[in-house]
Amino acid sequence: MSKKNMLQELKLLSPDNCTFSKNDAGLLRVEVKDNMSIIQAVLKRLFPLKHPDNFISVSDGKKEIGIIESLKDFKKPVREMIQEELDHYYAVPEISEVRSITHEYGFYLWKTVTDRGEREFYVKGRTDTLRQTPKGELHITDINNCRYVIPDINTLSKIGKVHLNQVM
């Protein structure tokens, strides 16, 4: 595909052509003028470190429908709603304690304590869900694509390490 064709297909989202709202369940909804409505929009920063408030992909979870070029184009209430959604996606709770990991129906139920309180979540095996770095960090992705991190697995309690060895 040529660069010209790619730019023609790229849909820039702005207050002129889309609206954002939250439904009763707290899910972010986006309506694109004369095009479509997405009940559960997924937002991802294309350049999370260099341009965190620019170039934000908006998708239905599978197909990108457009890109927000700049958050500053939106009014404060909408900007805050979008920012809240991004903060939720990019916030990674740190696990300080692994209380148990049990196998249920092909998934592992993790019961943990994080910097945001007690958390329970399901993980589908080891492949693509657990990633250990050379520094000893363990990155975990649950079945809902929520991410968690154990900053240093060596700091876990003895029983926490035993539970973790079940799935490593």
Model pLDDT for residues 131-162, shown as the tens digit of each residue: 888 888 898 999 888 889 999 999 999 999 99
- Mean pLDDT of all residues in 18-24: 91
Model pLDDT for residues 91-113, shown as the tens digit of each residue: 789 999 999 999 988 899 999 99
Please determine, for residue 35, whether its predicted confidence score (pLDDT) is greater than 80.
no
Task: Please tell me the distance from the alpha carbon of residue 137 to that of residue 154, in angstroms, as a whole number.
Answer: 9
Q: Long-range contacts: 62-69, Cβ < 8 Å, 24+?
A: 65/11, 65/13, 65/30, 65/32, 65/35, 65/36, 65/38, 66/10, 66/11, 66/12, 66/13, 66/18, 66/32, 67/10, 67/11, 67/12, 67/13, 68/12, 68/13, 68/14, 69/12, 69/13, 69/14
Task: Please tell me the distance from the alpha carbon of residue 112 to that of residue 109, in angstroms, as a whole number.
Answer: 10
- Whole-prediction pTM: 0.56
Domain ranges, ordered by start, for the chain: 3-90, 95-167
